[in-house]
Amino acid sequence: MENVNATFQYCDQLVRDFEKVITTPILNKSSVYYTGVDLGTAYIVLAVLDENYQPVAGAYRFASVVKDGMVVDYIGAIRIVKELKQELEEKLGAELIYAAAALPPGTVTLDSGAIKHVVQGAGFEVTNVLDEPTAANAVLKIQDGAIVDIGGGTTGTAILKDGKVVHVDDEPTGGTHFSLVISGAYKMSFEDADQYKRDFKNHRELMPVLRPVIEKVSSIISRHIRDYQVKEIYLVGGTCCLEGIEDIIAKQTNLPTYKPQNPMFVTPLGIALNC
Ligand code: ATP
């Protein structure tokens, strides 16, 4: 790739702006708000954009209502989305009407509308349900290559040709497994291990412990892309916040591997952009 920084310029700016409005929402009245609802295995994230598709508010909560892309606690999911919606409405002093949601790769036929019903059940008018890689690429704007989303529960791969998703694959193994490995190695509870893992100060120390699970993720990626002429890999998802994960994946897959400054909120923002 000629200039990786230029490629991630829009993404990095959008995510930086979003991180700011999570703590300090922008209260200038917009004629309309677009909300992206990302129902993940580890987090539920709501990203709110204004009429110009700029981030104005956001909220997220740790939740166990989705497993491997499927809603396993339907009532719990509605409750959390409703609470986050209300919290953001109070902060913005405006009603959030429209929302888009996304499905992980490979679950589109299995989901039977559950994610859409959760978002509707929380009081939104659902304008779009799209697949997660397409959402992520609304922010990354990649023409060719593989987008790999390493989230809490799964590793999802999307192959892009001329800016369009031509193939998707998803497999269980994600950040939850990383936390389980730390929990075992350090004799910590899962919650403590997850928190320890999320602290950037600990990443260097954790690398030897996490290397085998990163290599397993790399072998999943290699399998997902083997029938395609992929020349570059782009990482998104919270687990890719781990410093150095891109180097191990690059070495194992033998492909240049890039990630934006903060890979965590790329998909929720892409969902909101498609609202
Ligand atoms: P999925 O996509 O599998 O449904 P999700 O959407 O909840 O799950 P993300 O929000 O993309 O997934 O990522 C959540 C994972 O990222 C969790 O396992 C979390 O521990 C991990 N994570 C978040 N921040 C960091 C960090 N700073 N360092 C390492 N891991 C992190």
Say which CATH number the domain at 114 has. Answer: 3.30.420.40
Residue nearest to ligand 1 atom 6, measured at CA: 40
In this prediction, residue 104 carries a pLDDT of: 78
- Predicted confidence pLDDT, tens digits, the chain (275 residues): 556 777 899 999 999 999 999 999 999 789 999 999 999 988 999 999 999 999 999 999 999 898 877 889 999 999 999 999 999 999 999 999 999 999 877 776 666 689 999 999 999 999 999 989 889 999 999 999 999 999 998 899 999 999 999 999 888 899 999 999 999 999 999 999 999 999 999 999 999 999 999 999 999 999 999 999 999 999 999 999 999 999 999 999 999 999 999 999 999 999 999 99
In this prediction, residue 133 carries a pLDDT of: 87
Q: What is the ipTM of this complex?
A: 0.98
Distance 100 CA to ligand 1 centre (A): 20
In this prediction, residue 113 carries a pLDDT of: 86
* Three-state SS at 211: helix
Tell whether 147 and 218 lie within a shared domain: yes
Distance 118 CA to ligand 1 centre (A): 21
Give yes or no for residue 238 CB within 6 A of ligand 1: yes
Tell whether 111 and 157 lie within a shared domain: no
- Pocket mutation for ligand 1, best pick of 149, 198, 203, 271 (most atoms within 8 Å of C-beta): 198
Give yes or no for residue 151 CB within 6 A of ligand 1: yes
Tell whether 125 and 154 lie within a shared domain: no
Domain with 162 in it: 141-258
Tell whether 153 and 122 lie within a shared domain: no
Q: Given its phi and psi angles, is residue 37 left (phi above 0), alpha (psi -120 to 50 degrees) or beta?
A: beta
Give yes or no for residue 40 CB within 6 A of ligand 1: yes
In this prediction, residue 199 carries a pLDDT of: 98
Tell whether 58 and 151 lie within a shared domain: no
Could you give the number of structural domains in the chain?
2
Distance 60 CA to ligand 1 centre (A): 12
Tell whether 22 and 93 lie within a shared domain: yes
Tell whether 16 and 130 lie within a shared domain: yes
C-alpha–C-alpha distance, residues 46 and 55, integer Å = 11
List, as one string, the DSSP characters of 75-133.
Answer: HHHHHHHHHHHHHHHHHHTS---EEEEEE-TT-TTTSTTHHHHHHHHTTPEEEEEEEHH
In this prediction, residue 118 carries a pLDDT of: 95
Tell whether 121 and 199 lie within a shared domain: no
Tell whether 111 and 176 lie within a shared domain: no
Tell whether 173 and 83 lie within a shared domain: no
Residue nearest to ligand 1 atom 30, measured at CA: 239
Nearest Cα neighbor of 198 from 159, 234, 240, 161 is 240
Tell whether 47 and 106 lie within a shared domain: yes
List, as one string, the DSSP characters of 129-194.
Answer: EEEHHHHHHHHH--SSEEEEEE-SSEEEEEEEETTEEEEEEEEE-SHHHHHHHHHHHHT--HHHHH
Give yes or no for residue 260 CB within 6 A of ligand 1: no
Distance 243 CA to ligand 1 centre (A): 13
Tell whether 10 and 132 lie within a shared domain: yes
Give yes or no for residue 154 CB within 6 A of ligand 1: yes
Residue nearest to ligand 1 atom 23, measured at CA: 238
Residue nearest to ligand 1 atom 16, measured at CA: 238
Distance 47 CA to ligand 1 centre (A): 16
Residue nearest to ligand 1 atom 2, measured at CA: 151
